[in-house]
Structure 1
Amino acid sequence: MRLAMLGGGGFRTPLVYGALLRDRHERRVSEVWLHDVDERRLATVRRVLAELADGHEDAPVVHATTDLDTALEGSEFVFSAVRVGGLEGRVADERVALDLGLLGQETTGPGGLSYGLRTVPVAVDVARRVAALAPDAWVINFTNPAGMITEAMQSVLGPRVVGICDSPIGLARRAAATLGVDPSATRVDYVGLNHLGWLRGLWHEGRDVLPDLIADDGGLAAMEEGRLFGPDWVRSLGMVPNEYLYYYYFTRDAVRSITTAPHTRGEYLLDQQRRFYAAVGGDRRGALAEWDRVRTERNATYMREARDDGEARAEADVHGGGYEGVALAIMAAIARGEPAELILNVPAGGTVPGLPDDAVVEVPCTVDAAGPRPHPLPPLTGHPLGLVQQVKAVERLVIEAALTGSERRAVQAFALHPLVDSVTVARELLTGYRARIPAVEAVFAR
């Protein structure tokens, strides 16, 4: 099979290639086309992949190109993991919001809307090229904000675009492991949007065992989400929130922590990746070891603003993977008929009453040769439904603004987001992002 990886010069590409190397099925990916707009980053990542492939017979052949059509043509699967505006754009996403006293985060709140505004037009253009050059391909979307971008691409390609995120799957696995049950022997009740969902049930041998975890202070203290939210708040909810809900439930705490830190997450990653690509840019061995060292450092500092000073992430979370395993399982299910149970970003199709059927939600699915099918779920009620409806309405306004260049719709999107407290501030956000990020200004300058 032929796989195109868009954003192939990105730091996480070796994770996916490593998963491909472990796949020994006769119908596996034999050819990988990396696409990126930065030739230097492509060359650096190819050095890491070459070292990964050492000692592997029949390793997938790797090609690299800066021409999108060359990468796409004839591909059976397309992974999309692009960052429009680069990490410099992420830094501005965070800082413009923080300067106005609001949360500055990559996917949640104003920063996520800015990221979506400049990414939606690019993602839709990619979808059109896929439709023209690889009409039977499945697109697996890693690009953030994952739910919004998946929904925008589906306007062109329909359900052949699937959005993935490792966060909800990691949550379910941590809960199962804490309870001492095999994650593969559980049935998960999880529902929401990308980076905005709740684990409501975990069924094992015919019984929902999640209440056992929620009632156990020691068990909650042993897992990431229990430490983030605290046992009292988890018990008051009666379910375990996705880690990104920290930014909604503890907004002031998050803003204070980020504001008082020496740098934002985007600034940290920008500096780290500049040093990594510069160090590995020369033609030398050791690229894989340096990549692995930087990856471990990066994972260990993930969501540091939500943890107490000096508190380390669990070892399994630091070294564990995520996206690559989900992506490989989707390909195996569709191409080889190996059914998989995964939490994915797919059209609601009635799964979440209160949302349009074509709204992309994040829910458990069965995946087979026909693609993903959402599981029937109990209705979403109470404040989670209201929050999901509000954020989904905002996402749709961002998509409309990005595709039409409507400043009015963009201001509406910022103003109606639950983490923005004023229409005046919404206008200032849009002005700030247009001034700081050329790719955002380009949306409205057409």
Structure 2
Amino acid sequence: MILTILGGGGFRVPLVHQAVLAASDRVAVDEVVLHDEDPGRLEVMTHVLRGLGEGGPVVRATTDLDDAVAGAHVVFSAIRVGGTAGRTRDERVALGEGVLGQETVGPGGLAYALRTVPVVDHVADRIATLAPQAWTISFTNPASIVTEAMRDRLGERVVGICDTPISLVRRVLRALRRDPRAFDSGLVEVDYAGLNHLGWLMGLRAEGSDLLADLLRDDAALGSLEEVRLMGADWVRTLGAVPNEYLYYYDFAREALAGIAAGGRTRGEFLDAQQSAFYTRAAAEPGRALDLWRETLAEREATYMATERDTQDAGERAEEDLGGGYHEVAVDLMAALLGGEQHRMILDVANTGPDGEPLIDGLPGDAVVEVPVLADGGGIRPLPPARPLAPVMLARVQAVKACERLLIEAARTGDRDTAWRAFAAHPLVDSTAVARRLVDAYRGCTPA
């Protein structure tokens, strides 16, 4: 089996490779193809992967997209259009207008999508032409927008993944002294719904017991969760649901903005400096590439959402919260689709249930939403939630989804006014005048 990784020179590729190696008895990958437009980054990543040890699939690198995807069985799409320098610009332009600068939430995420949608449209077209039976598993942010755009060409063969929802479920189960993988195996039912980086855990049931109610009553268990340390137990109890940690940027927007502004540099600026230094050093010392990567990764993960935790006096990030697990989610999904396994997961899929009815009422059937699914050799089947989103949650989801769909149209047509409408529609942009200036700054235009 051939696995292609788009964005193969990216910093987190070794995590994916390690997960593939660890799952070799579950799903056999014969060849891993790394694709990136930057040959220098590809070379560095090749040295890092070599340092991980002999054995495993053959690894080859290419800067040619057609060569990379032709004949692939699975495509992992993890591209970052514009790199960390683009992310830095996205964040700084927003902060300059007094609105949130974050790479996936608010105007920063919309700017990221504006330049990413045309690229993933081209990628989806080449996959559909050269590997029509391939499964495309997209890690590319902003995941909700990118997955929805790619579906226009790839349909059900593309799915968006994020480790945040499943990590939340597992942490809740661990806090309740339950097997953290009880949902994966079907021993626990989960109600989770929303969009990527905009969702809520609304129900957790096992053997007739309401586990979420148990959690909300238990001060120690509730207080152990990263989301609660960020947003407070009182707020979580008021919601009656545990929010995805990215809801911090919506529910505590003023605090988030103040914390970022006071931090001196944005997350993008930190990563841009950190990764530039890593690639430069690793290129000069290829024999130390793996050690340098490990040192850089440890610092990167330990500082994740550090500003937000400091702003809320949330303390250090718990050890079990360190390390992004999207690579493990991707391998579990690959093992389900092609390796004969069955997994319950939370993924970004179309808003259409098995009966043809919407999974989230009030959204179009072809809108991409984030919900529990059952994945196996027969494909990916959404599990309709037993509990609907509360009206206030649904209203926010509808507003952001409308914004996302306008953004896709703007990215494809290049129409400035459509982009303006998209930015103005976002809940975190508080002025149409600000929205217009943001669009002009991101597009490199001078206001008319």
- TM-score band, normalised by the shorter chain? over 0.9
In structure 2, the partner of 1:49 is 49
Find the residue that maps to 1:386 and give its secondary structure: helix
Find the residue that maps to 2:393 and give its secondary structure: helix
- What is the distance in 2 between the residues matched to 1:257 and 1:356? 36
In structure 1, the partner of 2:351 is 348
Q: Which amino acid aligns with 1:121?
A: P
CA contact (8 A) 1:7 1:83 kept: yes
Q: Which amino acid aligns with 1:344?
A: L
139, 159, 164: which is aligned to 2:161? 164
Shift of 1:222: 1.2
CA contact (8 A) 2:26 2:339 kept: no
In structure 1, the partner of 2:185 is none
CA contact (8 A) 2:44 2:286 kept: no
Encode CA deviations 1:281-306: one digit per residue, 9 max, x unaligned.
12532222221121111111111121
Find the residue that maps to 1:9 and give its secondary structure: coil
- What is the distance in 2 between the residues matched to 1:229 and 1:321? 21
CA contact (8 A) 2:69 2:127 kept: yes
Find the residue that maps to 2:95 and give its secondary structure: helix
Residue 334 (1) aligns with residue 334 (2) = no
411, 425, 437: which is aligned to 1:416? 425
In structure 1, the partner of 2:64 is 67
- What is the distance in 1 between the residues matched to 2:299 and 2:419? 36
In structure 2, the partner of 1:109 is 106
- What is the distance in 2 between the residues matched to 1:264 and 1:61? 38
In structure 1, the partner of 2:259 is 257
Map of 1:247-326 to 2, 5 A cutoff?
247-308=249-310, 311-318=315-322, 320-326=323-329
Sequence identity (%): 56
Q: Which amino acid aligns with 2:115?
A: R
- What is the distance in 1 between the residues matched to 2:324 and 2:420? 37
Shift of 1:330: 1.1
In structure 1, the partner of 2:197 is 195
Residue 362 (1) aligns with residue 370 (2) = yes
CA contact (8 A) 1:21 1:53 kept: no
- What is the distance in 2 between the residues matched to 1:308 and 1:112? 23
Q: Which amino acid aligns with 1:162?
A: V
Find the residue that maps to 1:248 and give its secondary structure: helix
- What is the distance in 1 between the residues matched to 2:238 and 2:304? 26
- What is the distance in 1 between the residues matched to 2:364 and 2:70? 33
Shift of 1:313: 0.7
Shift of 1:434: 1.8
Find the residue that maps to 2:286 and give its secondary structure: coil
Find the residue that maps to 1:257 and give its secondary structure: helix
- What is the distance in 2 between the residues matched to 1:364 and 1:26? 22
- What is the distance in 1 between the residues matched to 2:33 and 2:284? 22
In structure 2, the partner of 1:37 is 37
- What is the distance in 1 between the residues matched to 2:207 and 2:28? 34
Encode CA deviations 1:128-183: one digit per residue, 9 max, x unaligned.
00011001001000000001100000001101100000111111111111110012
Map of 1:432-443 to 2, 5 A cutoff?
432-435=441-444
Find the residue that maps to 2:181 and give its secondary structure: helix
- What is the distance in 1 between the residues matched to 2:234 and 2:27? 49
- What is the distance in 1 between the residues matched to 2:216 and 2:120? 40
Q: Which amino acid aligns with 2:8?
A: G
Q: Which amino acid aligns with 1:366?
A: L
Encode CA deviations 1:234-267: one digit per residue, 9 max, x unaligned.
0100000000000000000000000011210000
- What is the distance in 2 between the residues matched to 1:27 and 1:374? 23
- What is the distance in 2 between the residues matched to 1:219 and 1:308? 21
Q: 1:219 to 1:347 in 2, by over 3 A?
A: same
In structure 2, the partner of 1:444 is none
CA contact (8 A) 2:336 2:375 kept: yes
230, 242, 245: which is aligned to 1:243? 245
Residue 146 (1) aligns with residue 143 (2) = yes
- What is the distance in 1 between the residues matched to 2:291 and 2:222? 35
Q: Structure 2: which 5+ residue stretches go unaligned?
A: 183-187, 353-357
- What is the distance in 1 between the residues matched to 2:257 and 2:285? 42
Shift of 1:325: 1.0
Q: 1:26 to 1:383 in 2, by over 3 A?
A: closer
CA contact (8 A) 1:140 1:327 kept: yes
Shift of 1:339: 0.8
- What is the distance in 2 between the residues matched to 1:116 and 1:214? 36
CA contact (8 A) 2:168 2:244 kept: yes
Shift of 1:27: 4.7
Give the superposed CA RMSD.
1.2
195, 199, 210: which is aligned to 1:208? 210
Map of 1:123-142 to 2, 5 A cutoff?
123-142=120-139
TM-score normalized by the length of structure 1? 0.95
Q: Which amino acid aligns with 2:378?
A: A
Shift of 1:406: 1.1
Q: Which amino acid aligns with 2:130?
A: L
Find the residue that maps to 1:346 and give its secondary structure: strand
CA contact (8 A) 2:27 2:334 kept: no
- What is the distance in 2 between the residues matched to 1:273 and 1:226? 31
Give the stretch that moved more between structures: 29-38 or 205-214: 205-214
- What is the distance in 2 between the residues matched to 1:24 and 1:401? 42
Shift of 1:372: 1.1
Residue 173 (1) aligns with residue 170 (2) = yes
Q: Which amino acid aligns with 1:253?
A: E
